Amino acid sequence: MSAQAKKYSGQPLKRIEDPRLIKGIGTYTDDLRLPGLLHVAFVRSPHAHARVTSIDTSVAKAIKGVVAVLTGADVNEKCGVVPCAAAIPDLKLPKHTVLAGDRVYFVGHPVVVVVADDAYAARDGVDAVEVEYDPLPVVVNPEEAIKPGATLTHPDLGTNVAFTHNVNGGTDIDEAFRRADRVIKQRVYHQRLTPMPIEPRAVVASYHAGEGTMSIWSSTQVPHYLRTLLPGMIGVAENKLRIVAPEVGGGFGAKLNVYAEEALCGHLAMRLGAPVKWAESRRENATSTIHGRDQIGYYEVAVKNDGTILGLKARTIADLGSYCQLLTPAVPTLTGLVLTGCYRIPAVKMEIVGVYTHKMATDAYRGAGRPEATYLIERLMDLVAKELGLDRVDLRLKHFPAPTEFPFGTACGVTYDSGNYQGALEKARQLADWKALMSERTAARKSGRLFGVGVSTYVEICAIGPSAAMPAGGWEWGCVRVEISGKVTAITGTSPHGQGQETSFAQIVADQLGVSIEDVVVMHGDTAVAHYGRDTYGSRATVIGGTALVMCTDKIIAKAKIFAAHLLKVAPDQVAFADGQFSAPGAEKTLSLAAIAGEAYVAKNLPPGLEPGLEASSFFEIPNFTFPFGTHIVAVEIDRETGQVAIQKYVAVDDCGPQINPLLVEGQVQGGIAHSIGQALFEQTVYDENGQLLTGEFMDYAMPRATDIPEYILGHTVTPSPTNPLGIKGVGEAGTIGATPAVANAVIDALESLGVTHLDMPLTPERVWRAIHQRTVATV
Amino acid sequence: MKITTSAAVAAPREHVFSALNDRGVLRRCIPGCEELTDVDEETFAVKLKLGVAGIKGKYAGTATRQDLLPPESFTFALDGKGKTGFVRGTAAVRIETQGEASRIDCEADVQIGGAIAAVGSRLIGAVARKLTRDFFRELADAIGAPPDVSDQNEIDALPDPGRDERLE
Amino acid sequence: MYPAPFEYLRPATIDEAIALLVTHGEDAKILAGGHSLIPAMKLRLAQPRYIVDIGRIRGMSHIRETAGRIVVGAMATHDAIERSALLREKCPLLPETAGHIGDVQVRNKGTIGGSLAHADPAGDWPAAVLALDADIELAGPRGRRTVKADGFFVDLLTTATAPDEVLVEIRVPITSAKVAYEKTEQKASGFAIAGVAVVVEQGGVRVGVTGVAAKAYRAKAVERALAGQSAPTAEGIARAAALAAERVEALGDIHASPEYRLHLAEVNTARALRRAYGN
Ligand SMILES: Cc1cc2nc3c(=O)[nH]c(=O)nc-3n(C[C@H](O)[C@H](O)[C@H](O)COP(=O)(O)OP(=O)(O)OC[C@H]3O[C@@H](n4cnc5c(N)ncnc54)[C@H](O)[C@@H]3O)c2cc1C
């Protein structure tokens, strides 16, 4: 890295991408209008499990404007199966065809596809298709599903257990439990959630028969994954396939996938010789786009009476739904990676059982695995403190590794890169005015109010990830080109969809090259432009993608120095670069990067042996994950009569290393906490006992609103990561990881006087009221 | 979903029983019934235009009588579907004499699916009650009993995030 | 999200609207603010063949004082009611209730007439018009008639309005400031799980409850318990409020069990009464 003064990095610059979005002139997939565009709609199963006995498409086909009505029999042989990329040994996979075959396995399972001149005719066509179903027994409860004799989700698999994954780490677990003074046990249910990005999915596909090339626009987080995986599904070679992720209105993991609809649209464009578009409705998004979480866990902690934690045992039952989407089975295994949280816990044993049920697949949802782990360990820390009558903050402090102990290896088998957990906790306590808050808590309780304070100290995994830990490469690619005009084009293989890297990457590149940020354009999300990439998920883009760009600028500066030396007639090692100017001792003039770029492309005076042009590309392979951390402190008050929870104070201190753009960091943290408040207090995806989804619209799926979100008091500490030259760690999921347990712990703390030690989320008013009511009745 | 309904009709139970097993009476009393045709002795087919206010859908289905025990009880096995969803399940009917009148207890155990389940869950229970109330009102009228139908209804078994049994 | 085909009709007068309703019978639906009807059409739960848009008929969105009564046109939006200076002064329950409906976008489009005609069991307006003992004016082919709020809500989504009638206006008394609306929201939709409106008058009180049962109702047992008292004690209010859910058959769904709804009816009644009485 060059020794540049940092003019932009560290500045809270407003997002370059915002004006077009605020003005409504961004281009989302559904905004695309291609000549002759046809519209796609799906007939989806109303049953969670049924045999399809007959399909009559004749009436639908006769509707004016309907172009094609196709069933599984028409397309499944011609389209490859929906892929699962998780590398889990002995994973049992059902065959996941793009349309249902003779059975349907979840409500929302696509059965028939209708293509028409316009979206209205397509929808009319859907209504006119007659499908006869013979309903079959349904299994929706994963704990029931693993009992002997349970109804089978996929009878041909012979079992509902997709896989069993074991984590055995650190010292001997049995020994730890033998030495324990006490064993504390808790069952915890992590509810199912619907990601609900503001923009549902959408796909446009266009096939050029003459060239044999296909372009697919998709509202996706992973255009490069699609370019790798769709060829096997639709039979178009990778180098004839272009994927574009235009403006993408949020993903949260729901768009980190390869979906049947994406392949089908490609297939239809080829088959019908016309471009096609599918735009998902909100209800389809609720039924047929992946869900998140849904884990039931049984936990046991072995402790000494002084609070020393000796070991942790866990058995987790992960509800996968009926199919494995791209990473479905991998997500629960991520829980095993940070189960010990910020703490020195010498022995860990975890068994994860992945179970099929007649529901939509679960997969990566913001935080993916880490929110589950953090919630568990943070609930357990409170339970241990409570049981042993210890101060919960002291208990946490007691188990933190010292800042000097990093890199810190854990019993879960990962090595935390750097950390100062004590620092973040201390700062959070300062910002929360901890002493005053505790006196307020005491005073409130004396007067009979249900007032609680929750603490969560978390560590998470970002920069996902080193290639060794990934199914297919965890590096990132970037390319920087200084144009003939001196303007700079930076191309990233990541695929921002709300994170703001058009801004933060411009900050990095402008600082590296000493140019004005106005002269830098960041391009992404189009595989014809960003040839390689591993896209955006797992809080990886800035750390890995940003570093790839730094590597490019280093190469450019090195080459530009050779040009400068040639032009200034000095030896290359005499050239210095600072503030965008190349200079040498004794040389008459200095040269700007733009001047050198001009020479590099005009190419009339090239240094001997040097290629023209000023462009470089790089792949960055990160040596380890990064491990951001922090402390969240929440105060809540509960309305005793109604069970309503009101958040009184919210303090978050997050350490994601040096911040490229503090405004973007704050935005990520704020959004993440909002997500968490939603999960802790309101959100839950509900299926009834027949597998009917009852939360199919915003009418019934309770998203947090602006008015539910308190004023945040945000702070940060800065502990650089040794894994990358920028020292950064990533922050895209931190809020969803640190906040959920803090809110839940606060609510449970408020109910402490009633003898409540645990409640499962969401902590809805009725659930809280029942807890209060039963305890009050029982103790009166 | 389980829907328990009770109604009192001021007529002897033999009367009520035969009315409930008379397809002419049923055609008249089933809310929204547009067509009722015999399939065989135990089964009839219906076409309904059902719903409340503007939220109406067309449904077609069958009802099969089982476990006939005159004049005390019988069960209908129900199976119907329309564009907005489907209903399947059973409705067990018991009739008891209460003085001059009869008390009808109906215990329906139905599965409701499709759009009506996905977006109408908050209203389904209430709609079911309204339809049963309408049915009994018509029934009383058909029998010639006073139209004053008192009812006591209960709906349960909707999964309730506030009390998920999986969590207890 | 694409409705079934329909024909769009736009009458210029109330009489024209009625004529269209008569001609097309049950295939026609009035369109007011569209914020209940259009979502149902987009989900294809409602598939009217004719849409009669009454949005361009003049003189249906007035808010004024006439002959000692407050008159609100059916097409007055929730937002117009919330902002009306006249109502804030002379019938403050209406602006208070309006402020609880949906969000700003919903309030900008939705109308009081549409909301009453739709009679969603969780709508907010029914509680207010019951507590105000409103007169609801309907116009139809047989002329005009007035229905008392108490008899207007017949059942779930069903009112005294005939399919060929147009709800034209609501008339309510001028009240003191001794009114209150207490609502517990369903977290997802924002509709009422239990909403209680209270109007205290000389020698009595009226209580309207929405969200709890298949239709909004007057909690007459509460009213009787407080009859004749101008300043009930805290215990008196608590005892009366405990009757708010008496003999009520409550709704239950994934958001609130019948038991919780009944409990909230009592809690919100007590809160609304305390506020209205200034207790
Ligand atoms: C996101 C959202 C949130 C909402 N939240 C709430 C809430 O918190 N509380 C609440 O109370 N409501 C809420 N609503 C509903 C909203 O208030 C509606 O506007 C209202 O219920 C219906 O009024 P409308 O003018 O939109 O009627 P429309 O939707 O146009 O019509 C509704 C029905 O009434 C009939 N109709 C309309 N006007 C007349 C008339 N003058 N005469 C006869 N029949 C007529 C129509 O034919 C139709 O059947 C919400 C709606 C949305 C979309």
Q: What angle do CA B2, B7, B13 make, to 5 degrees?
A: 115
Classify residue A179: in a domain, yes or no.
Answer: no
Which of C82, C118, C158, C168 maximizes ligand 1 atoms within 8 Å of its Cβ, making it the mutation to test the pocket? C118
Q: What is the mean pLDDT of residues B156-160?
A: 39
Cα B117 to Cα C152: distance, rounded to the nearest angstrom: 29
**pLDDT confidence of residue B57:** 84
What is the tens place of the pLDDT at every residue in A720-777? 999 999 999 999 999 999 999 999 999 999 999 999 999 999 999 999 999 999 866 5
**Residues paired with residue C208 on neighbouring β-strands, in sequence order:** C197, C218
C55 lines ligand 1 (CB under 6 A): no
What is the tens place of the pLDDT at every residue in C127-185? 999 999 999 999 999 999 999 999 999 988 999 999 999 999 999 999 999 999 999 99
Q: Which residue of B1, B113, B159 is in closest CB contact with A46?
A: B113
Same domain, A663 and A698: yes
Q: What angle do CA A581, A582, A587 make, to 5 degrees?
A: 120
Cα A602 to Cα C33: distance, rounded to the nearest angstrom: 65
Residue B93: closest CA among B12, B2, B1, B4: B4
CB atoms within 10 A of CB C56: 11
C161 lines ligand 1 (CB under 6 A): yes
Last residue of a domain, one of A593, A620, A647: A620
By residue count, chain B amounts to 168
Contact across the interface for C252 and B119, Cβ inside 8 Å: no
Contact across the interface for C249 and B129, Cβ inside 8 Å: yes
Same domain, A415 and A502: no
**pLDDT confidence of residue A780:** 38
Contact across the interface for A766 and C184, Cβ inside 8 Å: no
Q: Give B122's pLDDT tier (boundaries 50, 70, 90).
A: confident
Same domain, A261 and A380: no
Residue A421: closest CA among A402, A408, A398, A406: A402
**pLDDT confidence of residue B151:** 45
Contact across the interface for A124 and C4, Cβ inside 8 Å: yes
Lowest mean pLDDT among A144-153, B80-89, C58-67, C213-222: B80-89
Return the percent helix, strand and coil in chain A, to nearest 5: 35, 25, 45
The rounded percent of chain A whose pLDDT value lies above 70 is: 99
State the smallest CA–CA distance between residue B70 and chain C in angstroms.
31
H/E run at residue A593: helix A593-602
List chain C residues with CB under 8 Å of B127.
156
**pLDDT confidence of residue B146:** 65
Contact A615, A482 (CB under 8 A): yes
Residue A207 has pLDDT above 90, yes or no: yes
Closest-CA residue of B relative to C120 is B123
Q: Which residue of B55, B126, B161 is in closest CB contact with C40?
A: B55
Residue A186 has pLDDT above 90, yes or no: yes
Q: Give B116's pLDDT tier (boundaries 50, 70, 90).
A: confident
Contact across the interface for A686 and C5, Cβ inside 8 Å: no
Q: What is the mean pLDDT of residues A503-519?
A: 98
Same domain, A510 and A383: no
Contact across the interface for A642 and C264, Cβ inside 8 Å: yes
Q: What is the mean pLDDT of residues B77-104?
A: 91
What is the tens place of the pLDDT at every residue in A408-441? 999 999 999 999 999 999 999 999 999 999 999 9
* Amino acid identity at A434: W
Lowest mean pLDDT among A165-179, A329-343, B102-116: B102-116
**pLDDT confidence of residue C186:** 96
Looking at the structure of chain A, the number of domains it has is 3
- Cα–Cα distances (Å) from A68 to A56, A72, A202, B24, C79, in that order, read 13, 13, 19, 44, 46
Same domain, A495 and A606: yes
Residue A713: closest CA among A428, A351, A495: A428
Residue B115: closest CA among A504, A734, A699: A699
B161 lines ligand 1 (CB under 6 A): no
Same domain, A208 and A117: yes
Residue A654 has pLDDT above 50, yes or no: yes
pTM of the model: 0.95
Classify residue A166: in a domain, yes or no.
Answer: no
- Cα–Cα distances (Å) from B29 to A203, A355, B75, B133, C146, in that order, read 49, 47, 17, 10, 31
Residue B165 has pLDDT above 80, yes or no: no
Same domain, A425 and A516: no
Residue A180 has pLDDT above 80, yes or no: yes
Residue A293 phi/psi, 5-degree rounding, is 55, -135
C160 lines ligand 1 (CB under 6 A): no
Contact across the interface for C187 and A766, Cβ inside 8 Å: no
Cα A188 to Cα A293: distance, rounded to the nearest angstrom: 12
Cα C115 to Cα C122: distance, rounded to the nearest angstrom: 10
Q: What angle do CA A314, A315, A321 make, to 5 degrees?
A: 135
Q: What is the DSSP string of chain C?
A: --PPP-EEE--SSHHHHHHHHHHHGGGEEEESS-TTHHHHHHTTS---SEEEE-TT-TTSS-EEEETTEEEEETT-BHHHHHH-HHHHHH-THHHHHHTTSS-HHHHHH-BHHHHHHHT-TT-SHHHHHHHTT-EEEEEETTEEEEEEHHHHEEETTEES--TT-EEEEEEEE---S-EEEEEEE-TTT--EEEEEEEEEETTEEEEEEESSBSS-EE-HHHHHHHTT-SS--HHHHHHHHTTTTTT--B---SS--HHHHHHHHHHHHHHHHHHHHT-
Classify residue A584: in a domain, yes or no.
Answer: yes
Contact A330, A472 (CB under 8 A): no
Q: Give B163's pLDDT tier (boundaries 50, 70, 90).
A: very low
What is the tens place of the pLDDT at every residue in A270-298? 999 999 999 999 999 999 999 999 999 99
- Cα–Cα distances (Å) from C269 to A645, A737, C23, C275, in that order, read 20, 40, 45, 10
H/E run at residue B49: strand B43-52
**Whether the predicted interface score ipTM is above 0.90:** yes
Specify the higher pLDDT residue, B110 or A512.
Answer: A512
State which ligand 1 atom lies nearest to the alpha carbon of C191.
8
Residue A460 has pLDDT above 80, yes or no: yes
| Mean pLDDT, rounded, of chain A | 96
Specify the higher pLDDT residue, A778 or A139.
Answer: A139
Residue B156 has pLDDT above 50, yes or no: no
Q: Where are the domains of chain B?
A: 2-156
Q: Which residues contact A302 (CB under 8 A, 6 or more apart)?
A: A176, A177, A179, A180, A182, A183, A309, A310, A311, A312, A313, A347
State the smallest CA–CA distance between residue B35 and chain C in angstroms.
19
Tokens read off for A642? 């109604």
Q: Which residue has the tokens 């045999």?
A: A51
Q: Provide the domain limits for residue A74.
A: 32-136+198-250+255-288
Q: Give B159's pLDDT tier (boundaries 50, 70, 90).
A: very low
**pLDDT confidence of residue A5:** 64
What CATH number does the domain containing A520 carry? 3.30.365.10
What is the tens place of the pLDDT at every residue in C174-216? 999 999 999 999 999 999 999 999 999 998 999 999 999 989 9
Specify the higher pLDDT residue, A263 or B126.
Answer: A263
What CATH number does the domain containing A117 carry? 3.90.1170.50
Q: What is the mean pLDDT of residues A405-410?
A: 98
Residue B50: closest CA among B123, B156, B128: B128
**pLDDT confidence of residue A777:** 57
Residue A659 has pLDDT above 60, yes or no: yes
Q: What structural domains does chain C harbor?
A: 7-53 (3.30.43.10), 63-173 (3.30.465.10), 179-277 (3.30.390.50)
C104 touches chain A (CB under 8 A): no
**Pairs from C241-246 (Cβ < 8 Å, separation ≥ 24):** C241/C266, C241/C267, C241/C269, C241/C270, C241/C273, C242/C266, C243/C219, C244/C196, C244/C207, C244/C209, C244/C219, C244/C268, C244/C269, C245/C209, C245/C212, C245/C219, C246/C219, C246/C221
Same domain, A570 and A501: yes
**pLDDT confidence of residue A173:** 98
State the smallest CA–CA distance between residue A768 and chain B in angstroms.
8
Q: What is the mean pLDDT of residues A8-32?
A: 97
Last residue of a domain, one of A602, A620, A638: A620
Residue A580 per-residue DSSP state = T
Residue B80 has pLDDT above 50, yes or no: yes
A603: left (phi over 0), alpha (psi -120 to 50) or beta: left
Q: Which residue has the tokens 């289905």?
A: B61
CB atoms within 10 A of CB A7: 16
Q: Give A462's pLDDT tier (boundaries 50, 70, 90).
A: very high
**pLDDT confidence of residue B119:** 74
Q: Look at residue A665 and give its three-state secondary structure.
A: helix
B66 touches chain A (CB under 8 A): no
Q: Give B153's pLDDT tier (boundaries 50, 70, 90).
A: very low
Q: What is the DSSP string of B151-163?
A: EEEEEE----GGG
Q: What is the side-by-side strand order in the sheet with A161-170?
A: A161-170, A347-356, A309-321, A292-303, A182-193
Q: Per residue, what are the HEC states of A138-193?
A: CCCCHHHHCCCCCCCCCHHHCCCEEEEEEEEEECCHHHHHHHCCEEEEEEEEEEEE
Cα C264 to Cα C251: distance, rounded to the nearest angstrom: 12
C43 touches chain A (CB under 8 A): yes
Q: Give A140's pLDDT tier (boundaries 50, 70, 90).
A: very high
Classify residue A346: in a domain, yes or no.
Answer: no
CB atoms within 10 A of CB A602: 11
**pLDDT confidence of residue A588:** 87
CB atoms within 10 A of CB A658: 15
B123 touches chain C (CB under 8 A): yes
CB atoms within 10 A of CB C247: 6
What is the tens place of the pLDDT at every residue in C41-96? 999 989 999 999 999 999 999 999 999 999 999 999 999 999 999 999 999 999 99
Same domain, A501 and A403: no
For the B2-156 domain, the top CATH level (class) is alpha beta
Cα A289 to Cα A221: distance, rounded to the nearest angstrom: 14
State the smallest CA–CA distance between residue A476 and chain B in angstroms.
41
Q: What is the mean pLDDT of residues A542-568?
A: 98
Cα C57 to Cα C17: distance, rounded to the nearest angstrom: 9
**pLDDT confidence of residue A3:** 46
State which ligand 1 atom lies nearest to the alpha carbon of C161.
43
